[in-house]
Each structure stands twice: as structure tokens, then as C-alpha cells.
Amino acid sequence: MTKQIWRVLGWSLVMLLVVEALTGAALAAFYAPSSTDAWASVAYVQDQMPWGWLVRGLHFHAASAIVIISGVHLLQIAVAGTYRERAAAWWIGLVLVLLVLGFAISGYVLRWDQAGYWANRVEVGIAAGTPVVGGLIRSLAIGGNEYGNLTLTRFYTLHVIALPALITAGVVVHIVLAKRARDWSDGLRAAFAMAAVFAVLVGYVVSQHGADLAAPADPSAAFDARPLWYFRWLFELRHLAGSAEKLAAMAAPAVVGGFLVALPLVDKPERQAKRMPWIAGVVGLFALIFVLTIASFVQDSGDADLAKRQAQAEKDASRTRALAVKHGVPATGPLDIKQGIVMYRARSLYEKRCTGCHAATSKDRKGPIIGAGHGNRAWLTAFLKEPSGDAFWGHTKLAKTDDAMKPVELGEGDLADLTELLYAQSGASDVDAARRDRGKVIFDKACTDCHAIEEGVAGASAPGLGGLGSRDWYTSFIGNPKSPVHMGSDHSQMPRFDKDLSIVDRDALADYLVWLRTATQRDVDLLEPL
């Protein structure tokens, strides 16, 4: 009777394998094994498909359940000593455990997130350390010389074709060899057990809202790679072994495996009492693995720096996933996901290269404030009234020299006309032509001693203003502010960017500046954060 109770373990495992097969088939219907699409398709299932998180969660956590129950099953058989009569079933069972671990390794990389990617790099790195054939193993596993599309297609094939075929055959043989009499009470008990295991599984999956998904794989971004929990004992062992870690990584699984394989051959005694050393050996082994696993997690949980990095990684993950939901993932891959943010290229460049000298909030601002409304009528008028005001040239070296522009002293009407002329340079569509023309008359009288306003013409001693505030003008100015058409070599501290930024980048910045002209502070505040 008590022995029969344990049989439910085997049937629960069968049930879990069926869960894996069904959820796996459903996931395969959505999965795209390519380096640009893999993460995106997994994120799509997890975050956008109805019930997708549930299916993915079942698939991921059922694997954990399989490992746990296999462990208990193995331990029970070992303690009971039934492998002595059915050695073949025992051996096949060990092969099945290996296959399950193979599923775990091949499945983890498929998500192509930071966690799966780096874990796989380390795992393959360990395998590549095998003497003589290491390089071959690596190349065979990842499909060539580097991680890429072929890495995914290979692990995918392994995960959904090769391993399932092998495990199906293995399970059938295992069950036949186990030669269990199946009576009705047995079946009923098994059904109850399966239902219970399944209920716990579903409960856990719901509590976790599926399975985690880190930020997309990025070969340039550091990540605290950790293996799946069932490999943590090996991870910890390597850790403890110090310089002998390579030996530990290779030898430990070999010793454990060898011991288990050899058990039916060496453990012969008929009387249960004499089997004690063997039972103790198996139980001790499991206890050791258990302790190492716990130790590994304890070690990590005491590391404050690690916790900080992990919190950051989690933030990155949820941000990227939110962007994927909002904008979709670009066909070039999830590392380009931010390109979906409005004016991302320009704004991130601006943030990095321009705000130091131009942001109102910058502590060592060196130039005019650039913000919402930059270059619109109000801005131009204010500038004309006080060119060396704090918001304009106030922080520049130029303002402290005699070359600085003097305030324009005109009546309101004339000032508005002159403003309109300058405003018209930008090519804005709402120019008042009559005002502009009156402005031109004023300009010719008052400004031409220093400035010019024809396209591309330098002023006598000050910037040419043709095209001022237009997209092309911005691109040209950013490229070389010291050009004679613009500030001239000794009137500007701004560096030239034509060597540093590509024309595409300068154009993007110019677009952003043109946008700012018509934007209000509210528009700027409403922009999606970078």
C-alpha cells in the first residue's frame, strides 16, 4: 500500500510532460527563432496574447515541477531499492533526467533575453572547455562561429524536434520496463495526484503571472548571468572550488552520474538492512545538492550590489517590454526598440551633446537656452531687445566683448516687422508677407552694416541670417558654427559637429529644433521619456 502511493509520482511526471507538449505546441505557433525576432515574439506572447502569459508560465514552471518530482521519484526508487530488479528502467530513467536538463538548456536560450543569452554563453563556454573537442562542440551548438540566427534555429530544433522525440521514446520504454500492474484504485489515486500537482502548478503560474522575461539579449551590456535554479548547485560548486572550478564543473556531474548509473551493479544485497550504506550515499548526495543550491541563493541574497544591479535590470526589462507593447519591435531587432519613441535619435543626441551648454537647468551653461518656442516670434523679439540677456548670449564669452550685438531700439511696430522678416527665414508657413516686406526695409537701413540676409551670404562682421531657423540652416550651423556665414571663427565657443555627428544625426537634431519652435513647454513635457 505505502509503496503504491509512490507510483503517483511517475504518473504526475507523465501528466507534466503532456502539459509541456501541449503548451509547447501552442508557443511554437507564435515563436520566431531568429536573432531579431525571438525576443519580440516571446514578449508578444507574454504581454499581448490573451492567456499567453499563462501558457508560457505553465511551460516554464512545469519544467521546474518535472525536475522536483523526478528528484523525489529517483530518491524513492533508490531508497526502496527497486532498481535491483529493474535496472534497465532505472537507467532509462537517468537518461530521461538528462533529457529534461537538455530541454532546460535549449529552452532557456530561445527567449533571447539577457538572462537566457548570457546563461547560454556561459554554458557553451563550459562545454567549449572540453579538451580536444571543445571548439567543435561550441561550433556545433551555436551553429558556426558566433551567436546569431543559426544559434536559435539549432537550439529550437533540439528543443521542439529532437528532444521531444527522444523523451517520448524514453518514457514509453521506461513505463514498459517498470512493469507496473495497473488496477483501478491505482488509476484513481494517480488521477488525484495529477490533479493536485496541476492545481499547484497553475496556482504558482498565476502568482508569478507567467514566467519572467528580461531585457533583450545585448552583447555589450553586462548582466548577472545565473543558471536556472536546478543548475545552481553546480554554479555554487564551481564557486567553492576556486581555481579547481573547471575540474569541478566537469567532474561533479560525472561523479554524480557515474554513481547513479553504477548503483544497480554494485548494490546487490537482498536484505534491506545491508543496503544502508547505499541508501545513505544516495540521500547524502541529494542532501548535498540541496544544500549547495540553497547556499548559492543565500550567497546572492546577501549581495547588496547585486540586488541593485538586478533591480536596474528589472527596470530595463519592464521598460523595454512596455515599449514593445506600445510601439512594436522594429524589424531590425529589439535593441533598436527606442527608435519607436518620437524623435528618439535627435532627443537622445540632444540630451548627450547639447544640454550641457544649452539647457536652462544646466549648471555650466555656455550658450543661449534652447527650449520650447526657440526661434519663434516672441523669442526673436526678446532676443532683439536684449541680445546679451541671460537667456541669450548672456553666458557666452562673446557677450563680454565689444563685438557683442547691441540691443535693437525700435518702436513695437517696427520691431514686430523686423521680427517677421527674421521669422520668415525659417520657412514657416504662417508668415505675414506685408510685415516681412516692411521688415526688410528696416533691416536694410539698420542691420546691413554687420549682417546679411541673402541665402548663404556672410555678414560684414556678424552672422549671415539667410535661412535662419530653417532645417538646413540648423544642420549647417550645428555642422560648423564657426563658419564665416555663421558666427565666424572667434565669436563662438560651440564646437563643430560635422566630424563627430553624421549628416543623418545633424539632420535629426535640426528637425528637433524646428519642432521646438512651434512647441510649447507642455508639448515638451508630454514627450515620451527617453
Partner 1 sequence: MGDDPDRRKILTCAVGGGLGLVIAVPAARLVLGPTGEQTVTTPTDPLDVGAADRLKVGGPWQKVDVVAPLVKDGWTTARDVVLGAAFVRRTADNQAQALSAVCPHLGCAVGWDGKNFLCPCHDSKFTGDGDAIAGTGPAKRGLDPLPVKIEDGRLRLTWIRYQLDTASRDKA
**Residue 500 beta carbon to partner 1: minimum distance, rounded to whole angstroms:** 5
If the CB atoms of residues 79 and 126 are measured against partner 1, the closer one turns out to be: 126
Helix (H, G, I), strand (E, B) or coil at 265: helix
**Residue 277 beta carbon to partner 1: minimum distance, rounded to whole angstroms:** 35
In whole angstroms, give the CA distance from residue 112 to residue 116: 6
If the CB atoms of residues 245 and 432 are measured against partner 1, the closer one turns out to be: 245
**Residue 134 beta carbon to partner 1: minimum distance, rounded to whole angstroms:** 9
If the CB atoms of residues 138 and 377 are measured against partner 1, the closer one turns out to be: 138
Which residue has 503517483 as its cell numbers?
8
**Residue 148 beta carbon to partner 1: minimum distance, rounded to whole angstroms:** 4
**Residue 415 beta carbon to partner 1: minimum distance, rounded to whole angstroms:** 41
Q: What region, left, alpha or beta, does residue 406 occupy, with left being phi > 0 and alpha being psi -120 to 50 degrees?
A: beta
Angle at 153 between CA 150 and CA 157, to 5 degrees: 140
Our separate counts of H helices and E strands in the chain read: 21, 0
For 458, half-sphere exposure in the C-beta direction (CA atoms, 13 angstrom radius) is 13
Orientation of helix 87-110 relative to helix 163-178, angle to 10°: 160
If the CB atoms of residues 352 and 406 are measured against partner 1, the closer one turns out to be: 352
Helix (H, G, I), strand (E, B) or coil at 6: helix
If the CB atoms of residues 145 and 429 are measured against partner 1, the closer one turns out to be: 145
In whole angstroms, give the CA distance from residue 416 to residue 410: 9
Binding site for partner 1 (CB under 8 A): 34-36, 118, 121-122, 125-126, 128-129, 136, 139-140, 143-150, 153-154, 157, 218-225, 238-239, 242-243, 245-246, 306, 309, 332-333, 335, 499-500
Which of 499, 502, 439, 424 is CA-nearest to residue 469? 424
**Residue 5 beta carbon to partner 1: minimum distance, rounded to whole angstroms:** 42
Residue 332, judged by CB atoms within 10 A of its CB (0-12, 13-18, 19+), counts as: exposed
DSSP H/E element including 384: helix 377-385
If the CB atoms of residues 170 and 330 are measured against partner 1, the closer one turns out to be: 330
**Residue 509 beta carbon to partner 1: minimum distance, rounded to whole angstroms:** 16
If the CB atoms of residues 238 and 451 are measured against partner 1, the closer one turns out to be: 238
